Amino acid sequence: MNLSDEFQRVLGRAKAICVLTGAGMSAESGVPTFRGADGLWKKFKPEELANFEAFIRNPQLVWEWYNYRRQLIEKVVPNAGHAALAKMEDLVDRFTLVTQNVDNLHRVAGSKRILELHGNIMRSLCTECATKTDDPHLATEKGVPRCKKCGGLIRPDVVWFGEMLPAGVFEEAERAAGLCDVFLSVGTSAIVYPAASLPQAAKRSGAYTVEINIEATEQSDLFDEVMRGKAGEVLPCIAETLQMTKGVKP
């Protein structure tokens, strides 16, 4: 896939790049997306399950969904798109990777500076005393897990609808979007806020904005350029072009 002349020029000058990723980023690794033509959670709508009320109403069901996903994620590996982003981080002065994904695949791929907006599925948290735990098998062994310290219900350490994002993390993402020369929005339907406001923030500050997605989104018209294709195919081309424009030997 060829990059437009304009995109190549902008990449050559870029000192700061900010990337926002969504579920489509991990689709080629075998992690189902929430929405879109390939969205596999037809049975489980995130708007219905990913909220605290749903958890209190039926913790067993919500844990079933998360356990299923934890088991799936434990078996998958990063794809060529994750690897390309890890490589890009070493090619520019300031690179910020902002992800809505909870699957940890960016870290496994070697990305270092990652802002996780929606938490991490492998961690859990007590709903009463906020004690965190890293044991991903907690709930599979005992059904709905309870806190060892206070007996409170334990939940996945992810951000549900109506909840605040982790303190300071969104503010840092907003800062990076506002200061970057190039902003990439990869594999996200761009309907969940506040993450969906980041491309607009980048555009307002004069960044060159590019959407990478297999289908159009509600925000496609906002971008300077749309690359219609799979993250695992498009991102390696961008990383390679960046490497060439920076004069680094492959």
Instruction: Note the residues at the interface with ligand BJW (CB under 6 A).
Output: 22-24, 27-28, 33-36, 38-39, 46, 50, 100, 102, 118, 158-164, 187-189, 191-194, 212-215, 217, 230-231
Binding partner of 23, given Zn ion, ligand BJW, none, CB within 5-8 angstroms per partner class = ligand BJW
Nearer to Zn ion, 138 or 147 (CB): 147
Q: How far apart are CB 126 and Zn ion at their closest, in Å? A: 3
Q: How far apart are CB 132 and Zn ion at their closest, in Å? A: 10
Interface ranges with Zn ion (CB under 5 A): 126, 128-129, 131, 147, 149-150, 152
Q: How far apart are CB 37 and ligand BJW at their closest, in Å? A: 6
Q: How far apart are CB 13 and ligand BJW at their closest, in Å? A: 26
- How many C-beta atoms lie closer than 10 Å to residue 227's C-beta? 22
Nearer to Zn ion, 130 or 248 (CB): 130
Query: Is 118 assigned a catalytic role?
Result: yes
Give the CB-nearest residue to ligand BJW: 24
CA pair distance 204, 224, nearest whole angstrom: 12
Q: Which of 82, 106, 118, 137 is catalytic?
A: 118
- Identify which of 49, 18, 33 has the alpha carbon closest to the alpha carbon of residue 161: 49
Cβ atoms of 52 and 124 within 8 Å: the answer is no
Binding partner of 162, given Zn ion, ligand BJW, none, CB within 5-8 angstroms per partner class = ligand BJW
Nearer to Zn ion, 14 or 125 (CB): 125
Q: How far apart are CB 247 and ligand BJW at their closest, in Å? A: 29
HEC profile for the chain?
A: CCCCHHHHHHHHHCCEEEEEECHHHHHHHCCCCCCCCCCCCCCCCHHHHCCHHHHHHCHHHHHHHHHHHHHHHHHCCCCHHHHHHHHHHCCCCEEEEEECCCCCHHHHHCCCCEEECCEEEEEEEECCCCCEECCCCHHHHHCCCECCCCCCEEEEEECCCCCCCCCCHHHHHHHHHHHCCEEEEECCCCCCCCHHHHHHHHHHCCCEEEEEECCCCCCHHHCCEEEECCHHHHHHHHHHHHHHHCCCCC
Binding partner of 214, given Zn ion, ligand BJW, none, CB within 5-8 angstroms per partner class = ligand BJW
What is the residue whose two structure tokens read 């794809």? 79
Binding partner of 100, given Zn ion, ligand BJW, none, CB within 5-8 angstroms per partner class = ligand BJW
Binding partner of 151, given ligand BJW, Zn ion, none, CB within 5-8 angstroms per partner class = none
Nearer to Zn ion, 145 or 236 (CB): 145
Catalytic residue set:
118
